[in-house]
Amino acid sequence: MTKVVGIAIVRTGHELNEPIPITTANDLASFGYFQRQTVKEMLTFLTKTFTKRTEPGQRQSVTHEGYIVHCYVRSDGLAGTVTTDAEYPARVAFVLLGQLLEEFTAENGDTWKTVETPDSVAFPKIEEYLVKYQDPAAADKVTKIQRDLDETTQILHNTIDQVLERGVKLDSLVERSNDLSSQSKLFYKSAKKTNSCCVLS
């Protein structure tokens, strides 16, 4: 199951020794109670480490022990990270980051440029993003369309398999078909003999 574990908005810049996570949100429910603080600290460490190594205006995804940290540092130094499991689509993670940073800037302006204390800016919408983007297909229309197409394809394959399971052979369907000309039936038979391209068994 795809999952977003953590989201952070980060102040970066050459004038700072370390990036400063301004506001964060984490979903640690899948971890044991005694592991949660350690996981939270690791998320903060990975966020700071990878945003520091991402150039302004760039995006990157870094894999670490089954998780991926998607980083985006804007040219003005405001950055964001989304930490997900390995199956989470990178495209959706970067859509999340772009929208999140835009909304944060619209609400807070440039006040983030003077923040010195980690987790000191209240931004409740980050929690909404954490919940909304747990299901990437529901949050992203292109991903939803792809998932629907995959489901339709799966339904089609299941339908063909069910027909074949009932003992109906494709050969007998071809023979009985009124939709195929005798030329098409002859082509089917010769193709089957030549390279077995049409054998479904």
Q: Is the pLDDT of residue 15 over 70?
A: yes
Q: Please state, for a pLDDT cut of 90, what percent of the chain lies above it.
A: 49
Q: How far apart are the first and last CA of the chain?
A: 33
pTM of the predicted model over 0.85: no
Rounded Cα distance between 74 and 83, Å, is 18
C-alpha R_g of the chain: 26
Q: Kindly state the average pLDDT of the residues 104-113.
A: 95
- Rounded to whole angstroms, what are the CA distances from 15 to 70, 116, 175, 192? 23, 12, 78, 71
Please, what is the average pLDDT of the chain?
81
Span 39-54, pLDDT tens digits: 999 999 999 999 998 9
Contact 110, 129 (CB under 8 A): no
Span 17-35, pLDDT tens digits: 999 999 999 999 988 999 9
- Which runs of E-coded beta strand occur in the chain? 4-11, 20-26, 58-64, 67-73, 78-85
